[in-house]
Amino acid sequence: MIKRMLIMLTLLLTAAIFARLVLNYGEHQELGKLGAHYASQGPAELGAPNLVTAVVVTYRGLDTLGEVTVLFISAAGVGVMLRRRKQVPDDNEARKPSSEIVVTAAQLLLPMIFLFGIYVFVNGHLSPGGGFQGGAIIAAGSLLLLLALPQAEMRHRLISITESLSGFSYVVVGLLGVILAGGFLDNRIMSLGTYGSLFSAGAIPIIYTLIGLKVGSELSAVLDRFRQSD
């Protein structure tokens, strides 16, 4: 009885909190000051048709660096928690190979998935998507590889080199922005190019490629660690 009363009380309190939010809710009819500045000046200043990208990579580039760092720390945490077993277990015999259909389809699909991931982050400044999304697609491809071809081995050295190099270059590009242009991660260290073409918007495609490579290799490494510690 008391339990039920408590639940009712909690529900009522929650309702009271959200009622204020709902009743006071009014849709914004126009952009705020900062949003208006981004929307009106962004395309001209940075040359990126995708405004979200302009905000994420350049105006708020430092936050993105923080996100990448968070991802790196979580990947490192997974690596510490799931330490690799020393003796390689002989479960390769117990594990039956995938059927021919699965193997063939996976081999056909893998290049397509990787290509699509690369497309998403290379076109990040033109169309929806970007480094994180492209990297996640690439990691999904690695997951397919791990599930469909369990005998395949990932090249850990290559993955960790890719990850470290891309993270390092990301920071270097950001610092170049401080030296050559207006501030950290300013994309105007290169010419803005033709508005709307693939090689445009200054350094944004480079930054997004680096983020995509970093996220993709990082998530793939996390997935592989999960597999090894099963």
Partner 1 sequence: MNELIGSIIILTGSVFLFSAGLGILRMPDAYNRIQAGTKATTLGTMMVLLGLAVLHPAWTWKLLILVFFVLLTNPVSSHALARAAHRIHTPEADSTVIDQLEEEEQEEARAAAEGTNT
Residues that bind partner 1 (CB under 8 A): 96, 98-99, 101-102, 105, 108-109, 112, 148
Retrieve residue 121's tokens. 């982050």
59: which DSSP letter? I
What sign does the CA torsion over 106, 109, 114, 116 have? negative
- Residue 181 and residue 45 in contact, taking contact as beta carbons nearer than 8 Å: no
In this complex, which beta carbon is closest to partner 1, that of residue 117 or of residue 202? Answer: 117
**Closest separation between CB of residue 102 and partner 1, Å?**
5
In this complex, which beta carbon is closest to partner 1, that of residue 105 or of residue 118? Answer: 105
**Closest separation between CB of residue 194 and partner 1, Å?**
23
194: which DSSP letter? S
**Closest separation between CB of residue 71 and partner 1, Å?**
28
In this complex, which beta carbon is closest to partner 1, that of residue 82 or of residue 146? Answer: 146
In this complex, which beta carbon is closest to partner 1, that of residue 23 or of residue 101? Answer: 101
Closest among 150, 158, 174, 163 to 213, alpha carbons compared: 163
By CB atoms closer than 10 A (0-12, 13-18, 19+), residue 8 is exposed
